[in-house]
Amino acid sequence: MDERHERIVKNEAVFRAANREIEHAEKEAGGGTDQLIEVLCECGREKCRGVITLTVAEYDGAHAQDDRFVVLRGHESAQIEEVVEERAGYLVVDKFGEAEDIVEEESS
């Protein structure tokens, strides 16, 4: 994997960590799983500041596997991930190959 794709994967992990804090705060505030939350696009593009609106349950479901991320349409990267779910306003992508290995290292 080239350095650019490795950086993208690591950026995605940072965005996901921020989103988990948002989700955790919502749960702590007493929000249910049907509560809408706004999270950052987890595409890993340095300049992306896109926001995705989804329920806590949808967010949890998308991250049932450590190598899955939520991204805005058009922000997926076919070289390191595949689209596994299409939702209204966002996609769920699954990392493969070396990108998957990096994600697993970052999340452990």
Looking at the 3D structure of the chain, how many domains does it have? 1
What is the pLDDT, as a whole number, of residue 82?
Answer: 95
Mean pLDDT of the residues in the chain: 86
Nearest Cα to 34, choosing from 11, 9, 1, 56?
56
- Residues 61-100: tens digit of each pLDDT: 998 888 899 999 999 988 889 999 999 999 999 988 777 7
Q: Distance between CA atoms of 68 and 75, rounded to whole angstroms?
A: 14
Domain limits for position 23: 3-107
d(CA 86, CA 72): 10
Residue labelled with tokens 């689209």? 83
The whole-number pLDDT of residue 90 equals: 97
